[in-house]
Amino acid sequence: MKFGIVGTNWITERLITAGQTIEDFEVTAVYSRTIERAHCFGDKYDIPHRFSDWQTFLSSDTFDALYIATPNLYHAQQSLDALNAGKHVLCEKPLTLSAEQGRAMFDCARKNGVVLMEAMKSTEAAAFKVLEDWVQDIGPIRRVNFHYNQYSSRYDKLKEGIIENAFKPELGNGALTDIGVYTIAPLVRLFGRPQHIMADSYLLSTGADGQGTVMARYKEMTAVLSFSKIIDSHLPSEIIGETGIITIDQISAPAAIEKQNRQGEVIERFSHDALPMSYEVAAFIENCKKGAWPTANEEMSLNTLEVMEAIKQQTQ
């Protein structure tokens, strides 16, 4: 499948590297606001077609699917433009900034007969698919602890008075949208939308959230989510049931998981060493070939956005 790219940054570079391990993946076009930047990125990855005019790019027949990795604020409109141009869209997380926008995006994809998918690497990973089966083995589930705390080098810049995009709330950026989403999406994929949410966050001088903690209550279980861009933590995440525990190395990109009994004895292990983003690329291409996407994917994206909105209402 021929891909166009918008967003010439490090995450795009990782996606291209992962995509190159997939047989049907080919990047044939790149868009940037300046043609110089498009040429620079195109030269680096041998991308033949380069554009700096958005409408010319979208009307081009040089690609079939668009990968969007721009600041969060622009996801919705760029996706809608591409979907209306008849392009399949793989949009970086978070899909957008509100559930209303998310529903409009999926409706637009259906209207145009193309595929929309959120690039959520965690829930497409092979380890996550195994984890979904294991959850049934240790139930009923009573507690979930999902952690993603990763100190950002851009925080050092912020301390020096240099404000980069990562901490600009006007672009939809901050800890919740950048990394907290990685704790929310797996939760709602596994257990649906929680019944009640209590949230707290620490706001930085820019107004962006630097970290947050969420307690999500379900009928028979409680989940605690923690995420931060101003501290590091290397604790595994856990799903705890009455008959056992599942530990997850990184909830943002599960690669090694263990199932234990209540005594802590390991019953089963699973791991893989594939590039994390390769699974989402492969799933997206398969969806495009089918001309549809799993209902669970759409539900996960919309539930995630609704949970994020509830958190923002309490913290920002």
Q: What is the 3-state secondary structure (H, E, C) of 123-189?
A: HHCHHHHHHHHHHCCCCCEEEEEEEEECCCHHHHHHHCCCCCHHHCHHHCCCHHHHHHHHHHHHHHH
Query: Over 90: is that where the pLDDT of 316 sits?
Result: no
Task: Give percent of the chain above pLDDT 90.
Answer: 99
pLDDT of amino acid 181 = 99
pTM (predicted TM-score): 0.96
The structure tokens listed for 213 are 């903690």
pLDDT tens, residue by residue, 82-133 = 999 999 999 999 999 999 999 999 999 999 999 999 999 999 999 999 999 9
Q: Convert the pLDDT of each residue in 131-145 to its tens digit.
A: 999 999 999 999 999
- 3-class DSSP state of 34: coil
Contact 247, 238 (CB under 8 A): yes
Complete domains list, the chain, with CATH? 2-119 (3.40.50.720), 123-315 (3.30.360.10)
Q: Which of 71, 91, 92, 93 is nearest to 79 (CA)?
A: 91
Q: What's 304's DSSP letter? A: H
Structure confidence by residue, pLDDT tens digits, 41-76: 999 999 999 999 999 999 999 999 999 999 999 999
Residues 6+ apart with CB under 8 A from 292: 115
